[in-house]
Amino acid sequence: MLDFYYVATPQGQQLLMFLEETGLPFRRIPKAKSLAMVDHWPMDAGEPLPLQESGAMLLYLAEKAGFGLPAGMRARAAARQWLFWQKSFECQGNRTAELFSTLDKQLAEQAYLCGEQYSVADIACFPLVSARGARLAAYPSLARWFHAVSQRPATQRAYGREMSTSVPDPEVDTEAGISALAGVLP
């Protein structure tokens, strides 16, 4: 079970999309002060594992779920490259046209960022494109990709929930979760 400390940001949406896509069991803890998670059933069967930073959490979840990272070494490297590239997307707010052009070029001859397989890179980039609110008509390949990802049932579930009004799970000991995160939260 994952305790998902949700913050209504593109990074929070990335993780929510991934969790909805994979069906990993999670409890949403809304109105968190910082985006984080605690995996109570970590892959090494050890103590609960607290995590922070959306990219690190996405990679951990991809490995845990066996989803979103292609099998081949080159495709896996490409997925990681686009996952990390999206971090520059977050920081380059005034360069939307250049960033959209880069995505459009990458998508010109393939369905998804890393080829024909939907990956963690697509999940990482989608909320950032969505948050820009820009018109995509000038970027036909990006527009096609955006439409395809937006039609996925997991994306619709992730965007159909208003997390900020969610009622906390009474079974969740929020104080214990916060103390478990003490070692990773700044």
For every residue of 4-53, DSSP letters joined together read EE--SSHHHHHHHHHHHHHT--EEEE-S-SS-EEEESS-TTS-S-EEEES
Kindly indicate the confidence band of residue 95, based on its pLDDT and cuts at 50, 70 and 90.
confident
Res 86: pLDDT: 86
pTM beyond cutoff 0.75: yes
For 9-65, write each residue's pLDDT tens digit.
Answer: 999 999 999 999 999 999 999 888 999 999 999 999 999 999 999 999 999 999 999
* 120: amino acid identity, one letter: V
Domain regions of the chain by residue span: 2-181
Any idea which architecture 2-181 has in CATH? Up-down Bundle (1.20)
Residue 170 has pLDDT above 80, yes or no: no
